[in-house]
Structure 1
Amino acid sequence: MNYIIISITRKQNDDFTSQKNYEDYTPEKYHCISVDDDIISSLNQNLSIMKTYFHTVKNQKYGLAYCGITIIPPESLAIFYETVTSSKFFRKSDELNELASKIVQAAAEQKYMIHYGV
């Protein structure tokens, strides 16, 4: 089973540098959670309209980088939350419930989230 790792990082107004590459995976630093790849894959179609950045904030894209690092800005968290909580797996998945809580926390604190793909 593959897992997708999600974390919360810097505030929108903090020194979130476009030069930084977020490829270094440090789960303790970013308080990461794991979500099964199959569950995240089921959300991909709905997430394809979510504005994101791949690897650095200089590389704007949409959706999640399956095998890479996705930076999710605060303005995209509402779409992310809606997609997660409307998933057919949401009621049965502790992972998705934990992810929804992380999204709420990030939105309240105006923080970016980082998705580390498989």
Structure 2
Amino acid sequence: MAKHEFGIIDSIEKNRWYSEYEPVKYNCVSVSDDLIEELITKYIEELMAIKTYFQVTTQPGTGLDYCGVTLIPPESLKQFRGVIIKANSHYQSQELKLLIENISNAINNNKYLIHFGI
């Protein structure tokens, strides 16, 4: 089953391309692709309102890069966590609970979250 991985970047490097798949390096939590697909379908407008970057901080985007690497900056994490909390109230998923914890840790430490799409 395909998975999406979410981890915390300890120290963001401003012009570095985060294009290598390194879930262990960022202590990622996994969320099944089926769950992410449902989340995107149901919460597309809210997700697309979240400011992110695609692979490098010089490429602004919105939402998640489904098949690539997304960098979610500290200023967007509360908004992202809100969407995940709302989704988890519907799905009651252990995967989403772990993701909420990971996002909360990133918020508390003012860190970027990295998302590896499928």
The TM-score, its normalising length taken from structure 2, stands at 0.89
Residue 81 (structure 1) aligns with: 81
RMSD between aligned alpha carbons?
A: 1.1
4+ residue runs over 4 A deviation: none
Could you list the per-position Cα deviations for residues 74-106 of structure 1 after superposition, in whole angstroms to 9, with x for gaps in the alignment? 0111111110011121x2x11000000001000
- Structure 2, unmatched stretches of 5+, are none
Q: 1:34-53 residue pairs with structure 2 within 5 A?
A: 34-44=30-40, 45=44, 46-53=46-53
Task: Measure, in 2, the Cα distance between the counterparts of 1:50 and 1:8.
Answer: 17
Task: Measure, in 1, the Cα distance between the counterparts of 2:53 and 2:9.
Answer: 14
User: Equivalent residue of 2:25, what SS?
Assistant: helix
**One-letter code of the match for 1:32?**
C
- Structure 1, unmatched stretches of 5+, are none
Task: Measure, in 2, the Cα distance between the counterparts of 1:109 and 1:62.
Answer: 22
User: Among the aligned pairs, what percent are the same residue?
Assistant: 38
User: Equivalent residue of 2:71, what SS?
Assistant: strand
Report how many aligned residue pairs link the two structures: 112
User: Equivalent residue of 2:24, what SS?
Assistant: helix
Matched, 1:31 2:27: yes
Q: CA deviation at 1:41?
A: 2.1
